[in-house]
């Protein structure tokens, strides 16, 4: 991604933050800052106190970005849960029979 795209996307992220409470901004920045601190070149984020997430590098960042970008509904979130954490809720109900 080019510098112009980074400026646009990070700028959009920054511009959205004033709509949130201080606690929400802190939580949001802990996630974003922690991910960026973990990547090569992220030392400045770590220097100002963001704790880097362990074991996140370019490959993992790409996978996370693609996965999150593919989700656009509550059904997608539920499906992501099924894939990552558990089985289909219908399967669970059948197990109880």
pLDDT of residue 94: 56
Q: Are 5 and 23 part of one and the same domain?
A: yes
Q: Are 7 and 42 part of one and the same domain?
A: yes
pLDDT of residue 96: 46
Final residue belonging to a domain, choices 38, 56, 74: 56
Q: Are 4 and 49 part of one and the same domain?
A: yes
Q: Are 29 and 73 part of one and the same domain?
A: no
One pLDDT digit (tens) per residue for the chain, 97 residues? 689 999 999 898 889 888 889 999 999 999 999 999 999 999 999 999 999 999 999 999 999 999 999 999 999 999 999 999 986 555 555 554 4
Q: Are 6 and 35 part of one and the same domain?
A: yes
Q: Which domain holds residue 48?
A: 1-56
A 10 A CB-CB count for 87 gives 12
Tokens describing residue 1: 């991604």
Q: Are 39 and 69 part of one and the same domain?
A: no
């Amino acid at each position: 991604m080019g510098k112009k795209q980074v400026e646009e996307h990070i700028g959009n992220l920054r511009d959205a933050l004033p709509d949130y409470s201080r606690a929400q901004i802190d939580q949001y920045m802990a996630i974003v800052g922690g991910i960026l601190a973990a990547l090569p070149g992220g030392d400045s984020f770590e220097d100002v106190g963001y704790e880097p997430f362990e074991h996140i590098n370019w490959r993992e960042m790409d996978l996370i970005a693609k996965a999150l970008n593919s989700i656009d509904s509550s059904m997608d979130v539920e499906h992501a849960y099924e894939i990552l954490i558990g089985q289909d809720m219908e399967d669970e109900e059948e197990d109880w029979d």
